[in-house]
A and B are shown apart, each in its own frame.
Chain A
């Protein structure tokens, strides 16, 4: 059972938009920055979003992050088949004094 809650899966058609939610609490998401990672099978995760809504260089602006209270959201527009992956949210939990991740959301581009 992950501290952060994500939907197990989401799907959308190519070219469409999808959002992935990440629900936490006052000791993690509300109190600390959130980051998002993309992971393809058999590879290491890749940073997509940090500080809630900032994109590292090289990450297209199709990817966006937002946060409100105890929840964060990853948005992906102009979906491509190459976006099919598992997406994880993560943050620091001040109560646990440790890092926490969501359980991951598998994106299917139909």
Chain B
């Protein structure tokens, strides 16, 4: 059974960075892309980027270019998303999601979400 388990909630000060992890199990880690999607309080879904665990490459949404990094560790089947220069606008729940078809069209399994709160 596929599981994506994310790290716990974080509280950060403006200007700081946060690193959220997403540990995968129940499938071949390298075979499926992982996306990161965030959701601000009371708002909709916002796509942040995609990571290819097989090759290590990442593509980021234009909005986050320059302050986001996605990496992976094949030995632990874990993907990481680091966001820097945090502001209050970055307060949100961050989700990782598996892309079953690697087509940006089939997010079939999601992590439970990680709440990141940015506050002074």
User: Are the CB atoms of B105 and A50 closer together than 8 Å?
Assistant: yes
Q: Give CA–CA (A54, B11) in the complex, Å.
A: 39
Q: Which residues in window 93-111 of B have CB below 8 A to A?
A: 95, 97, 101, 103-108, 110-111
A: number of interface residues (CB 8 Å): 27
Tell me whether B110 and A56 are in contact (CB under 8 A): no
Q: Chain B: how many interface residues by the 8 Å CB criterion?
A: 23
Contact A99-B44, Cβ < 8 Å, known A44-B111, A50-B105: no
Which residues of chain A come closer than 8 Å to B105, judged between CB atoms? Answer: 32-35, 50-51, 91-92
Q: Known contacts A44-B111, A47-B107, A50-B105; is A102 also within 8 Å of B61 by CB?
A: no
Out of B35, B44, B47, B103, name the residue touching A33 (CB < 8 Å): B103
Q: Quick one: closest B residue to A44, CB to CB?
A: B110
Question: Could you jot down 19 A-B contacts, CB within 8 Å?
Answer: A2-B44, A33-B105, A37-B45, A44-B95, A44-B110, A45-B95, A47-B107, A50-B101, A50-B106, A51-B106, A90-B45, A90-B107, A91-B104, A92-B105, A98-B59, A98-B62, A101-B37, A101-B46, A104-B44
Show the binding face of B for A, using Cβ within 8 Å.
Answer: 35, 37, 44-47, 50, 59, 61-62, 95, 97, 101, 103-108, 110-113
